[in-house]
Structure 1
Amino acid sequence: MELFASHFGAYEVDRTTGTPTLRPFRHDPCPSPLGQDFLSLADDPERILSPMARRGWLEGDAGAKRGQDDFVPIDMDQATQLAAHELDRVRKAYGNRAIFGGSYGWGSAGRFHHPQSQLKRFLNMAGGFVSARNTYSYGTAKVLIPHLVGDQYADPGGLNPTWDRIIDAQPFILSFGGMRLSNAQVEAGGTGAHRMPAYLESFIKNGGEMLTLSPDARDAPAGEHLAINAGADAAAMLAMAHVLLVENAIDHSAVHKISTGLDAFCDLLRGVDDGFEKSPEWAAPITGIDAKTLRDIARRLSHGPALINLAWSLQRAVKGEQPYWAALALATISGQIGRSGCGIAYGLGAVSSVGVPLRRLKGPAFEQGPNPVSDYIPVARITQMLEQPGQQIAYNGDKLTLPDIRLIWWAGGNPFHHHQDLNRLAKAWRRPETVIVHDSVWTATARHADLVFPSATSFERQDIAAGSRDDWLFLSTQVMEPPQGVETDHSVLSRISKHLGFADKFHEGLSADDWIARLYKGYQTAFPELPNWEQFCQDGFAHLAPPAPEDVEQPLEKFVAAPQTWPLSTPSGKIELMPKLMQKTGLLSSFEPDSTRASLRLLSPQPAQRLHSQLNMSPTAQAARKHGCEIARAHPKELERAGVKSGEICLLSNQNGTVQIVIEADINVMEGHVTLVTGGWYNPVKREAHQVDLGGNPNTLTADLGSSALSQGASAGGAWVDLRPSTW
């Protein structure tokens, strides 16, 4: 079987009509239609078809016109020599600590043609580079969770019970931020079976109850929805915890057995230090939920069984640690931790694999080798690094010195989509002497480069695809040849490594097909039941048998049953309800969302029509626009207040920037909020005295603050904006 693997899942290649097309994988019970749009990239009007150099860079403008200049085509040999020369010049003049290897996930579902792995291997062999740590998706939680329950639960979904246990236990699910089914269509590395809809349907059919608290009813895939002000989740949870405290619903002996800090947590609820008792009456004006309702929800949790679920989006905000900490504390004192199918879940529905009982394909990757440079930054601190070289920032109880970056080399990912405050990033991006980018289309990141290498797309190369959190393995076929002059990242980096004298070490004399076969052998070593290479190539896929129910370990279950026998890796060996580092960084105070003079709180969920900014020019993504603009949604009363009509081209603006959108009235959106999905291509243009992003990217409006001195995670959530008519 000939298959193409993507982050949306696997698709069968149909060549019966002459021009290849994609159709859903026959073993996928709920295939995503979006992956079938991938082949539209072959003729994308934004396709990069040859190496390109920015004119001002060639003339020595030191980055002054970066992002505002035109490009000239050059041949591959000249381009690779220029890249090799720049890398060699920078490392000799400033050292490898002046090179930033900017790469991010989602560039490819394939394990060999994974841009991040290819670039890191190349830069490591060239003497090393400054790297980025954690992710935009889960960076705040990744740092926080080890302080609460230990390192072993830091990975996304590490604390979650599995859906089979949830369905058996039938807990009351209290879901903050929701679980959009469109998010569950995606998996890093791909999948062969989208299972989340079936699990959720089974839960509801068997009588399961779910209550989603979110400013947007679209976040609730089933059950009831209750509107809550954005950023007020921690306040709601503390109010519920206060109810349990004052109604004597906490088993103090049981909680002390598995946690530390209960007395200090109760003092916080009583307002001993700050004078604010965290009662439902205190939380009601903050959350927009009346005190009686908050009490009723708390009692439902106390009676159990219950499961508290949090969307990943909640921790992508200033003080984004607060709701994740508060949820764990609430689940602990309500007696739900350690019960089968109950307790705490971070990100059910965030991606396809979360909560699925399966054997994870943790196998080999393209070998990157050691990085001789130890310097790194938290991934969301790129702008600050470029603006403030030599300055120190706090991070996870330590101090990091920001390096002086002279060369950025980027392959995979699009920071001019997923970073915050894009106008500020664009200014800081002009500081390095050279920016090199690999991409297949003219993203904003490519347009802010000096030297651009055209990359073959994932369907223009063969690869082996697998998700480390999933159980499907694919031979992703080369559906079509890349355009003449377009090569894979591996091919381009092999050329450059030849100029630098380490080509043999980089590719080890292996062809791409040899590397793919070698990677498969690594999977076979880890999972001997996989078919031999020839059979795998014939079938096009392999699937691990599911584990027996008794073999699926439920997080914290053994620990709660015998805390001394199965201690956590925290300092106390128990759940830390009041971690010292959270207290030192001010995260256990001030639980009210920030407010400004702007009128609307901006919500920026993941899009249903594309993956982040990928497939932006696809038919599905184009059809989701109106008048060429991204669509924002707000309650009809907010349109009335702004003096605009549904379907009109309007502007969203604040102190960080302005975006052009079409506004639509939507009663699903809570008053005081506006929703604009992520992924619009940043496209700033001058309109009179103003700069307006015609691409409609919400990160033109978000503040680049870092979630806290603890994690320095992404802070996209919580921007305040004004809605007004467009005068252009």
Structure 2
Amino acid sequence: MSTHSFFASRRSVLKGLTALGAGTLIAPALLRPAHAAVGGMMADGDVINGSHYGFGYAKVEGGRIVGMTAHEKDHVPNKMFETLPDWVYSPTRIKYPMVRKGFLQNGHESDRTERGKGEFVRVSWEEALDLVAAELKRVKETHGNGSIYGGSYGWKTPGLFHNCFNNLYRTLNLHGGFVNDVQTYSTGAIRVIMPYVNGGPTTSSTWPAIIENTELLVFWGANPALNCRIGWKVPDHAGLKYLNDFKATGKQTIVVDPIRNDTAQLLESDWIAPRQGTDVAMMLGVAHTLLEEDLHDKAFLADYCVGFEEFSAYLTGESDGTAKTADWASEICGVDAEQIRELARLMASKRTMINMGWSIQRQHHGEQGPWMAFTLACMLGYTALPGGGADFQIHYANYGTPKGTAPIFPGFPAGETPEGLPAPIPVSRVPWVMGNAGAEYDYDGTRYTAPDLRLVYWVGGNPMHHHQDRNKHIEYWQKPETIIVNEINWTQTARFADIVLPVCTNFEKNDMSMVSEQNVGIVAMKQAIEPLFESKSDFEIFAEISKRLGFEREFTEGRDEAGWLEHIYAEGLKDAEKKGVEMPDFETFWNETFYQEFPVTEAAKYEVTHASFREDPLLNPIATPSGMFEIYSRRIEGYNYDDCPPHPAWMEPIERLGGAMSDKYPLHVNTQHPTYRLHSQLDNNTALHDAYKVQGREPMYISPADAEARGIADGDIVRIFNDRGQCLAGAVISDTLSPNHIRLSEGGWYDPAEPGVIGTLCKQGDVNVLAPDIGTSSLAQGNCGHTILAEVEKYTGDVPSVTTYDPVV
């Protein structure tokens, strides 16, 4: 295996500064990615790199990536990793800096309804960067820094240094500050509610403790066999290994989901299929059975919890006149009442781990799901025991695997945001805020006023994928005066921008990343090829913008790419020495070992959340007002929210099967994560399309009975619609869906039949044209991307061509 030298022939920073004069900062040439061989020529061979799909080696021939091989430390290699060359060389790559023609002519006074349909004009990097800097100056001087929003929510490529979030934030902080966001689309409700309930943790036990101690594993709206294929950092897929290890024990698993999902199929689990969005009602039916049949752990509830008395009054109907019996729950969730009672008895008879997926909290009143799951675990009395309780993370990205004894690598610093700026916005409400300047909204016990956002700078994300109610979103997106986007590909987010700057992929620059969410190692991410076309790294781009704004030196601190990577590693090495963790020096790591694994202690292998609290609740209180698990929250009670009561409760969503809107739209749309993508990433990867696309479109899975009732055959193009929007998809008839449910995975690129026109048909299958843009409640303001009713019909018109993957020239 050939290796690449990290260091290019480069002048020292100090020498360069001296030659250029005291008032001049780093020359652009010094900010280019460090070449892998002396003289700047990229060598053929196998080059190590990492991604959200795994890590391993890019095979380079003639300056081009021709294949990928997984690293030997990747436990269950992901096939998507092998297809990354097709992503790098996608026809959708943004080749040059581009500006919307109307914006180039008229600046911030241009016709903003042209976003998404307007013509783009190629400009030089100098012109584009000057334009960006001028707009940042203009908005700051005219409207203040509180009118600049730094948008960087999304799945950027991994890396400690080329972190587009921090590069953007550092620039805007040096410019005087900006409006940020808070929380995530993934965990908007659970991250807000759980601190009130258990002090914040969403973990329970590590996988080794689960394998050894759990007798019954219930996956409630969770699908680790799918979601552990990817990682926020670089995954080693240990979660998939442990899932298979649990299967080998022969212990019972149950999957509660309207879809017999990948996990149910892998583990051959028992399958219970409630109507989507009714999980809280079903859990209440289980809880009532535990109470009614005296199966609940009264001692645990008395010693470790507060508020069960108030909750039990709700459960029995004493407080509202409706007992939440299994029969009551059955009417709502569609699961037979006796099956609900049997589940309660089974869970009480065996040490049970409830693994609740995040899908349940991405629904209207999403705070109630995790609160109720944790309450159910407390009633069972298994909470804080090895392999027991409720866990909200092992379903995703290899959480639950034991943590490594990793030192802290600081990464590229974002800097500090100056005081006096508007408060961060709950991320799923950002577009609403764009369109409603001055309006008031509640969040987590406080009332805020929406700032007047005039400039949006977005990097490392694709809001024209991940946000709900696409048509309303387009309307909001027309409000800011200027939208700037750094992107690799011509996503719809880029197409709806005014200024577009092309960014190179992780294979076209040098970096390093932690491996696994549990930091089990660090991997070198070495540049394999030259940056394609005129693309640059975010660091290069923001260094140039900083230069134009007068603070390049503060931004770079006198370091180029090589200097920053050496610095970041050196800081980690200092921490490793303090912790007694052995690590090679930087040159050895970069040129010889490539991957440094960190040892896992025995204690870490069997870590149990809240174990010390269970051992002695008086000496080890948890971080709630009472120091106990709070089934009833006095603090939430004090907020007086009519959409988030002080204990877990069933609250009718805006629409559901058997409830509101179901007469008009009788199908619930399940937006499960896609099998061959990471959200919208890789949707432009044509090497994968043949594996799942139907006539070039997103697949829509439908049960045989629902398809027959609508005259739909396998492979037909169908139209899915409701009052919010409409999209085309390709029908796949499947027996994995329960009746009255269809599956259209999130992440399909929006493809408007009439670009920029609100309400137009999406030709490719963007499920968010159907989703409502509302917050989960006044408490968390999370997104409700799983609360969707719709109808489906066979499409009989002329089938339009898919154009969302066409390049912009």
TM-score by length of 1: 0.96
Contact 1:103 1:115 in 2 (8 A): yes
How far apart, in 1, do the equivalents of 2:754 and 2:100 lie? 21
How far apart, in 2, do the equivalents of 1:417 and 1:619 lie? 18
How far apart, in 2, do the equivalents of 1:554 and 1:141 lie? 20
Q: Do structure 1's residue 72 and structure 2's residue 117 form an aligned pair? A: no
How far apart, in 1, do the equivalents of 2:142 and 2:779 lie? 34
Q: Please give the residue correspondences for 1:266-665 in structure 2 after superposition, counting only pairs within 5 Å.
A: 266-359=312-405, 362-372=408-418, 373-467=421-515, 469-528=518-577, 529-537=582-590, 538-549=592-603, 552-583=606-637, 584-585=640-641, 586-588=643-645, 589-593=649-653, 594=655, 595-596=660-661, 597-623=664-690, 624-665=692-733
How far apart, in 2, do the equivalents of 1:361 and 1:160 lie? 24
How far apart, in 1, do the equivalents of 2:778 and 2:183 lie? 15
Contact 1:13 1:22 in 2 (8 A): yes
Q: CA deviation at 1:274?
A: 2.3
- Residues 123-132 or 179-188, more deviating: 179-188
Match of 2:246 among 203, 209, 219: 203
- Residues 358-367 or 203-212, more deviating: 358-367
- Residues 695-704 or 54-63, more deviating: 54-63
How far does the alpha carbon of each residue in 1:337-370 deviate from its partner, in whole angstroms, 9 at most, with x for none? Answer: 1211111110322112344454466531211111
Q: CA deviation at 1:620?
A: 4.2
Match of 1:666 among 714, 730, 734: 734
Contact 1:140 1:320 in 2 (8 A): yes
Match of 1:36 in 2: 82
Counterpart AA for 1:69: G
Match of 1:112 in 2: 161
How far does the alpha carbon of each residue in 1:563-620 deviate from its partner, in whole angstroms, 9 at most, with x for none? Answer: 0011001000000001235453333444445331201101111111111111112134
Contact 2:208 2:605 in 1 (8 A): no
How far apart, in 2, do the equivalents of 1:704 and 1:361 lie? 41
Q: Structure 1 unaligned runs (5+)? A: none
How far apart, in 2, do the equivalents of 1:689 and 1:382 lie? 19
Q: Structure 2 unaligned runs (5+)? A: 4-46, 798-809
Counterpart AA for 1:718: T
Counterpart AA for 1:76: W
Contact 1:112 1:515 in 2 (8 A): yes
Contact 1:357 1:552 in 2 (8 A): no
RMSD, aligned CA: 1.8
Contact 1:305 1:342 in 2 (8 A): yes
How far apart, in 1, do the equivalents of 2:528 and 2:541 lie? 21
Counterpart AA for 2:673: Q
Q: CA deviation at 1:621?
A: 3.2
How far does the alpha carbon of each residue in 1:610-635 deviate from its partner, in whole angstroms, 9 at most, with x for none? Answer: 11111112134312211111100011
SS in 1 for 2:732: strand
Alpha carbons of 1:502 and 1:352: their partners in 2 closer, same or farther (altered >3 Å)? same
SS in 1 for 2:225: coil
Q: CA deviation at 1:533?
A: 0.7
SS in 1 for 2:126: helix
Match of 2:13 in 1: none
Contact 1:97 1:375 in 2 (8 A): no
How far apart, in 2, do the equivalents of 1:253 and 1:548 lie? 31
Match of 1:159 among 180, 203, 228: 203
Contact 1:172 1:305 in 2 (8 A): yes
How far apart, in 2, do the equivalents of 1:543 and 1:363 lie? 14
How far apart, in 2, do the equivalents of 1:676 and 1:615 lie? 16
SS in 2 for 1:691: coil
Q: CA deviation at 1:17?
A: 7.8
Alpha carbons of 1:392 and 1:534: their partners in 2 closer, same or farther (altered >3 Å)? same
- Provide the aligned length of Structure 1 versus Structure 2: 722
SS in 2 for 1:714: coil
SS in 2 for 1:684: coil
Counterpart AA for 1:534: E
SS in 2 for 1:245: helix
SS in 2 for 1:629: coil
How far apart, in 2, do the equivalents of 1:204 and 1:506 lie? 50
Contact 2:434 2:452 in 1 (8 A): yes
How far does the alpha carbon of each residue in 1:310-330 deviate from its partner, in whole angstroms, 9 at most, with x for none? Answer: 011111111111110111001
Query: Which one has a bigger Cα radius of gyration?
Result: 2
How far apart, in 2, do the equivalents of 1:71 and 1:421 lie? 26
How far apart, in 1, do the equivalents of 2:104 and 2:475 lie? 20
Contact 1:164 1:357 in 2 (8 A): no
How far apart, in 1, do the equivalents of 2:407 and 2:192 lie? 24
How far apart, in 2, do the equivalents of 1:425 and 1:526 lie? 45
